[in-house]
Amino acid sequence: MPTLSRRFSTLSTPIDLFLQWKPQRETQQLLWPPLSPSQLQKQQKLLQSKLILALDGCTSVKHVKQVHAHLLCQGLDQCCFVLSKLIRMLTKFCVPMETYPRLIFHQVRCPNPFLWNAMIRGFILQGTLSESVSLYNCMRRDGTRPLSFTFSVFFKACSATLDVDLGTQMHAQTILVGGYGSDLYVGNTMIDMYTKCGLLESGRKVFDEMPDKDVISWTELIVAYSKSGDMESARDLFVELPVKDKVSWTAMVTGYAQNARPREALEVFKRMQTEEVETDVVTLIGVISACAQLGASNYAKWVRDVAERSGFGPHENVVVGSALVDMYSKCGSIDEAFKVFKQMKERNVFSYSSMIVGLAIHGRCHEAIQLFHDMLESEIKPNHVTFIGVLTACSHVGLVEQGQQLFAAMKTHYDVDPSVEHYTCMVDLLGRVGRLEEALEVIKTMPVEPNACVWGALLGACRTHRNPDIAQLAANNLFELEPNTIGNYILLCNIYASAGMWDEVSEVRKLMREKGLKKSPGYSWIEGKKGEIHEFFAGDMRHPMSIEIKQALEDLVNRLKAHGYVPHLNSVTYDLHDEEKRRLLLNHSEKLALAYGLLSTDVDYTIKIMKNLRICEDCHAFMCGASKITGREIIVRDNMRFHHFHNGTCSCGNFW
């Protein structure tokens, strides 16, 4: 009489059930009357599915071996159906294909396509593509027709290893063997292979020749175009795509975001909302990144609400949470970013890095360094980005020694190899405090090839510390690496102009003219009360309130002058009359934006200005003064960092 506990003990996983079997031949017991052939076949089938179930439940190689022993005992050593599953399990547990799986395979006289496939797949997964290829050739000599997913597995491997030669050969094979022309899996993995290997046109050709395409084929190509920067082709395909799903929509949102077109990304996302397409984590990450680029608070709030409503708030999802931290910090709301960070239930290296970098670019460097130390205690290992953040923080507050110590510890304690970026931080660290020769020495002795960023950091430091000689050296290297980046020439012009070296200024100007480089127009934007964006270009009079803005600026500059503000005429690199320089300076777009902000918002409202270029010295001093005499909080995000102006001082410490 079975007790209750005995009965419950039978409620176990398939592998446990299996292990209770007695190893005896279940199918050939002497029975009377004997089983008919169809009954026998049924019994065989049952046994096979039992074995498959047992294999599915295996959690170790040992289990698989037990099932194998049982299988042999039942006389199923030729049963390809079960054996291919068995080999798949061995692959899953990383048993080297050369050993046990190969042995099993060799004992089979007539392997079926599934068994071949299991072997080929196993070798591919273990990184021995060449062995897979020779197995494939054996299979072909054997007269066996490959399965469509044998090809898929190959294409996937070629896409991962960027082995376009093998991919092309396999493509030829599909044509040679024939009959795969309408197979979606083969076609789609082939498109993926070609596009990942950078042969967009070949991918497109496969796509065009496919008689049936599904949404996956379309999406693969859309992604390929957007990765190549061709959003126009991506959009054209998307428009033609008959049935769009959330993945193809997301591909468009992310595509625009990754191509620095945040407004279009937001447009697509809005349309997704009106068409009631489901929003998931991946969609959110794309649109959050777009918001971060735009830096618009109202959009930020809206996107965050959508995230919360979809059930992926910072509390639920680390990735969304980390993206929101980055977004808020780039929108100028560093306190909100910190709030989100604290709300997060789970934090990873991305969350910490985003927060540390955020604090650093907002000039809250001691907090950034503190957070870095908190992170070390939380057992989350810092990565290369974390170090960029904390080194940036050190350099912003002039903590040279601490920065140098951290830099040294990177490799020895945290196993992070210093990259060019980290050396850039070191050049910046030394350059900011005026140790320009030492910074130059770092560049000369660094083990990695210095890139434009490194020389740019040095050139930037030369501007602050007015050193035209080293500037010349840095600029020459920079011009070689980035002959067409206008900002470098302008920076050098500024440095020469500050030193009154007008001949050199005109030399550089001549160089720019010869190269046909045009100054990209500086512009600033500010968010209105209702979330609308107001854009200002230098000297722009197109804004409906231009007259008032101009007047407000005149008033402001007069009040500032009374408080000792002197226009930094050196910020103008044209050799003009001082009066003309004064006029030009007052036209700078961030000043126009500031005047609009002062006119249109209440006293307790923080004015947030975004700018596409680096803020000039004059505007910086102007903002400092304005924050003092108006008592307003002003934040300017230029292309480098945030400047928080409060009561006459800036968070960057006049150092940027």
Partner DNA sequence: ATAGGGTTAG
Subset of 404-463 contacting DNA (CB under 7 A): 421, 424-425, 428, 452-453, 455-457, 459-461
Site residues for DNA, 612-631, by CB under 7 A, read: none
Site residues for DNA, 160-219, by CB under 7 A, read: 184-185, 188-189, 192, 214-216, 219
In sequence order, the 6+-apart residues with CB closer than 8 A to the CB of 585 are: 567, 568, 569, 571, 572, 591, 618, 619
Site residues for DNA, 116-145, by CB under 7 A, read: none
CB 512 within 8 A of CB 485: no
Site residues for DNA, 20-79, by CB under 7 A, read: none
Q: In angstroms, give the least distance from the CB of 509 to DNA.
A: 19
Question: What are the C-alpha distances in Å from 180 to residues 139, 185, 188, 190?
Answer: 17, 9, 11, 11
Candidate list 348, 402, 506, 612; residue touching DNA; CB under 7 A: 348
Question: Should residue 641 be labelled a site residue for DNA when binding is judged by CB under 7 A?
Answer: yes
Give the per-residue contact string, 265-284, with DNA (x = CB under 7 A; - = no): ---------------xxxx-
Candidate list 250, 494, 570, 571; residue touching DNA; CB under 7 A: 250
Pairing of strands 607-611, 634-637: parallel
Question: Should residue 336 be labelled a site residue for DNA when binding is judged by CB under 7 A?
Answer: no
> Of 161 and 546, which has the nearer Cβ to DNA?
161
444 burial level (CB within 10 Å; 0-12, 13-18, 19+) = exposed
Q: Exposure string (b/e) for 83-100, b if CB count within 10 Å is 16 or more? A: bbbbbbbbbeeebebeeb
> Of 216 and 616, which has the nearer Cβ to DNA?
216
Q: In angstroms, give the least distance from the CB of 589 to DNA.
A: 20
Question: Should residue 84 be labelled a site residue for DNA when binding is judged by CB under 7 A?
Answer: no
CB 86 within 8 A of CB 52: no
Q: In angstroms, give the least distance from the CB of 318 to DNA.
A: 5
Candidate list 52, 640, 646, 655; residue touching DNA; CB under 7 A: 640
Write out the two tokens for 218. Answer: 């379309």
Candidate list 478, 592, 594, 635; residue touching DNA; CB under 7 A: 478
Q: Could you write out the three-class secondary structure of 556-605?
A: HHHHHHHCCCCCCHHHCCCCCCHHHHHHHHHCCHHHHHHHHHHHHCCCCC
Site residues for DNA, 375-394, by CB under 7 A, read: 383-386, 388-389, 392
Write out the two tokens for 54. Answer: 């047992």
* Alpha helices per DSSP H over 310-383: 318-330, 334-343, 349-361, 365-377
In sequence order, the 6+-apart residues with CB closer than 8 A to the CB of 62 are: none
Site residues for DNA, 307-326, by CB under 7 A, read: 318-319, 321-323, 326
Q: In angstroms, give the least distance from the CB of 191 to DNA.
A: 8
> Of 64 and 257, which has the nearer Cβ to DNA?
257
Question: Should residue 340 be labelled a site residue for DNA when binding is judged by CB under 7 A?
Answer: no
Site residues for DNA, 563-602, by CB under 7 A, read: none
CB 630 within 8 A of CB 598: yes
Q: In angstroms, give the least distance from the CB of 615 to DNA.
A: 13
Q: How far apart are CA 388 and CA 427, in angstroms?
A: 12
Torsion angle defined by CA atoms of residues 365, 370, 376 and 382, in that order, rounded to the nearest 10 degrees: -10
- Binding part of the chain for DNA, among 34-42, 402-410, 477-485, 550-558 by CB under 7 A, reads 477-485
> Of 135 and 478, which has the nearer Cβ to DNA?
478
Candidate list 330, 543, 632, 637; residue touching DNA; CB under 7 A: 330
Site residues for DNA, 523-562, by CB under 7 A, read: none
> Of 93 and 502, which has the nearer Cβ to DNA?
93
Note the residue count of the chain: 656
> Of 479 and 596, which has the nearer Cβ to DNA?
479
> Of 469 and 555, which has the nearer Cβ to DNA?
469
Total Cβ atoms within 10 A of residue 286: 24
Question: Should residue 306 be labelled a site residue for DNA when binding is judged by CB under 7 A?
Answer: no
Question: Should residue 473 be labelled a site residue for DNA when binding is judged by CB under 7 A?
Answer: no
> Of 42 and 515, which has the nearer Cβ to DNA?
515
Total number of residues that touch DNA (CB under 7 A):
71
- Binding part of the chain for DNA, among 134-142, 247-255, 300-308, 364-372 by CB under 7 A, reads 247-255
Candidate list 247, 433, 501, 545; residue touching DNA; CB under 7 A: 247
Candidates 616, 594, 592; CA nearest to 606 is: 594
Q: In angstroms, give the least distance from the CB of 41 to DNA.
A: 25
In sequence order, the 6+-apart residues with CB closer than 8 A to the CB of 115 are: 80, 83, 84, 87, 105, 108
- Binding part of the chain for DNA, among 17-25, 170-178, 351-359, 583-591 by CB under 7 A, reads 351-359
Q: How far is CA 212 from the centre of its chain?
A: 33
Candidate list 91, 248, 570, 571; residue touching DNA; CB under 7 A: 248
Q: In angstroms, give the least distance from the CB of 289 to DNA.
A: 5
> Of 66 and 289, which has the nearer Cβ to DNA?
289
> Of 318 and 446, which has the nearer Cβ to DNA?
318
Q: How far apart are CA 321 and CA 621, in angstroms?
A: 36
Total Cβ atoms within 10 A of residue 577: 9
Q: How far apart are CA 514 and CA 314, in angstroms?
A: 52
Q: In angstroms, give the least distance from the CB of 565 to DNA.
A: 27
Q: In angstroms, give the least distance from the CB of 227 to DNA.
A: 7
Q: How far apart are CA 574 and CA 35, in angstroms?
A: 103
Q: In angstroms, give the least distance from the CB of 298 to DNA.
A: 20
CB 454 within 8 A of CB 480: no
Q: In angstroms, give the least distance from the CB of 574 to DNA.
A: 23
> Of 383 and 630, which has the nearer Cβ to DNA?
383
Candidate list 156, 435, 509, 568; residue touching DNA; CB under 7 A: 156
Residue 636 phi/psi, 5° resolution?
-120, 125
Question: Should residue 349 be labelled a site residue for DNA when binding is judged by CB under 7 A?
Answer: yes
Site residues for DNA, 481-500, by CB under 7 A, read: 482, 485, 488
Q: How far apart are CA 538 and CA 523, in angstroms?
A: 6
311: left (phi over 0), alpha (psi -120 to 50) or beta: left
Dihedral sign for Cα atoms in the order 326, 330, 336, 338: positive
Candidate list 65, 102, 140, 246; residue touching DNA; CB under 7 A: 246
Q: How far apart are CA 473 and CA 488, in angstroms?
A: 12
Question: Should residue 286 be labelled a site residue for DNA when binding is judged by CB under 7 A?
Answer: yes
Candidate list 26, 163, 245, 264; residue touching DNA; CB under 7 A: 245
Candidate list 269, 328, 350, 489; residue touching DNA; CB under 7 A: 350
